Structure 1
Amino acid sequence: MSIQHSQINLSRRSLFKFGAGAIGTGVLTAGLSSNLLAAEIAPAEDEITPDKALQELLDGNERFAQRKRRNPHQTYSRLAEIAKGQKPFASILSCADSRVPSEIVFDQGLGDLFVCRVAGNIATREEIGSLEFGSLVLGSKVIMVVGHERCGAVDAAIKGAEVPGQIGSLLEAIKPSVESSKGKSGDKLENACKANVLAQIKKLNSSPVLSELIKAEKLKIVGAYYDLDTGKITIVG
């Protein structure tokens, strides 16, 4: 991820305009270099609203599910266009599952999406920090947390699987969602997957950086569930 004056165009005034009470906690000043504080936000970053960004994701997925992909922004000219700067309109927190590649299922291309992928689509400190950067600095207007059908990580958490190495840390993060979904009618795994999506949204909403962007109507955070059989995204919440 390249950070340059011409790409980021972020000023100290822009960083703190969301309110000293919530963001003036050292999160921004400690995490962003003096280079980021030197310039102004480019007007182009504000041209798309959170609602329009969300609709663009949903429209792209509809094209994918209907086998009508346009494959936008996937040319070598697009590669050259964004080589020195990025302005993704949306961020995705999704599972690392190889069957859920964001750019494909949302029919997007180079420079369109800021994607964080981790098994179980959990919002770790590192994932939250990445999404804060994608929204505050790069100008992403929507964060979509995407769970999916038959998620192996959630299934393992349900079964209380004995796992080696650091895999257990993923399951521990998912277990509260498994507990909260118990007793609900319907498919147990699907219920837990959707509960996990909502739990990660709650974590993201607790971020001072993201919550202030939401209050300023510069960001929307939504949950979604991906059907592996149809390729269709449905909103969760």
Structure 2
Amino acid sequence: MKLLSNKIRLQDTVKTHVMRLKVIFVLIIILGVFISCKKETSVEKPILKDETEPTKEVVVKSVLTAKEQASMSSEEIINRLQEGNENFVNNNLTQRDHSEQRRIAAIGQYPKAIVLSCVDSRVPVEDVFDLGIGDIFVARVAGNIENKEIIGSMEFATVVAGSKVVIVLGHTACGAVKHAIDNTDAASLGLDALQDLLNEIRPVVKSKEGVIANSKDESFTNHIIHQNVKKTIADIREKSPKMKEMEQNDILKIVGAVYNMKTGEVEFL
């Protein structure tokens, strides 16, 4: 009996050891899996973070300086304006801190160009070229024509303030040009000043062979819009000998452009 009792105790002991070994084995497996997962997680986290974390947009706080203005050529300025227009067309305008720009620009201004635009509210000049505070001068008058005051403003911008490009910016669907084409009699309505303005545009309104001047003809109207821009450029050169001289000496460029109301694109002539 004693032998049997010892045998039973031995078997129990063996079973107990076997169970303990099984438990230890299971714990080792669980621990191994936990450590493996932890390592994988620590490796993957930076990758996931880089892939999912949004890139912070650069916000422009500075304004154009005298040194930057002096270093740019007329061609470079025009190229930058064209690139800015691409941003506008693609709805990718530069983010700017206008409060900071306003504070810095109060000290002085060094714009790279002056743009003569129509007064049309649908042509936001700075946005059209993706520009901010201190980047350009903007003069506006219906039909983007020149007059004594506009010429004076351009001479200030170029001769005095150092701008290297003058842009005459027309646009499609221009109301002033349309009224000039249709020979609207503004004076009969008591609008003598408006009549004078339309009279400035009318010299370029010449019917093509077989084409009657009519603002409803979009192709014809766009042709006159382009011709009006070219006339304004010629008038600027005639009425400002100093700017004409600067252009001849490659210090200044006087160029024309037309803004497409439908697409937002600017066509440089």
| Structure 1, gaps ≥5 residues long | 1-41
Residues 106, 43 of structure 1: alpha-carbon distance in 2 compared, 3 angstrom cutoff: closer
DSSP 3-state at the match of 2:139 = strand
CA distance in structure 2 between the aligned counterparts of 1:85 and 1:120, rounded to whole angstroms: 31
Residue pair 1:116, 1:127 contacting (<8 A) in 2 also? yes
TM-score normalised by length of structure 1:
0.77
Match of 1:53 among 51, 66, 77: 77
Question: What displacement does 1:158 show?
Answer: 0.4
TM-superposed deviation, 1:97: 0.3
Which amino acid in structure 1 is aligned with residue 199 of structure 2?
E
Query: 2:254 aligned with 1:221, yes or no?
Result: yes
Cα offsets for 1:159-183 (capped at 9, x unmatched): 011213211111000001113x644
AA partner of residue 221 (structure 2): L
Name the structure 2 match of 1:85. Answer: 108
Matched, 1:174 2:191: no
Partner amino acid, structure 2, of 1:84: I
Question: 1:71–1:109: 8 Å Cα contact kept in structure 2?
Answer: no
CA distance in 1, matches of 2:95, 2:147: 31
Aligned residue among 232, 236, 246 for 1:204: 236
| Aligned counterpart in structure 2 of residue 95 of structure 1, from 118, 122, 127 | 118
Conserved 8 A contact 1:71-1:108: no
| C-alpha RMSD of the superposition | 1.7
- d(CA) in 2 for partners of 1:182, 1:143: 30
Q: Are residues 220 and 71 of structure 1, via their aligned partners in 2, closer, same or farther at CA, if it must alter by over 3 Å?
A: farther
Q: Between the two proteins, what is the percent identity of the paired residues?
A: 39
CA contact (8 A) 1:184 1:191 kept: no
Which deviates the most, 218-227 or 183-192? 183-192
Q: Higher relative contact order at CA 8 Å, sep ≥6: structure 1 or structure 2?
A: 1
Q: Distance in 2 between matches of 1:43 and 1:63?
A: 25
- The residue identity in structure 2 corresponding to 1:231 is G
Structure 1 residues 177-233: Cα deviation after superposition (integer angstroms, max 9, x where no partner) = 113x64498811101100000000101122111112112211111110110011000
Residue 44 (structure 1) shift? 4.9
Q: What is the rounded CA distance, in whole Å, between the counterparts of 2:84 and 2:180 in structure 1?
A: 31
Q: Which runs of 4+ in 1 moved over 6 A?
A: none
Equivalence for 2:224? 192
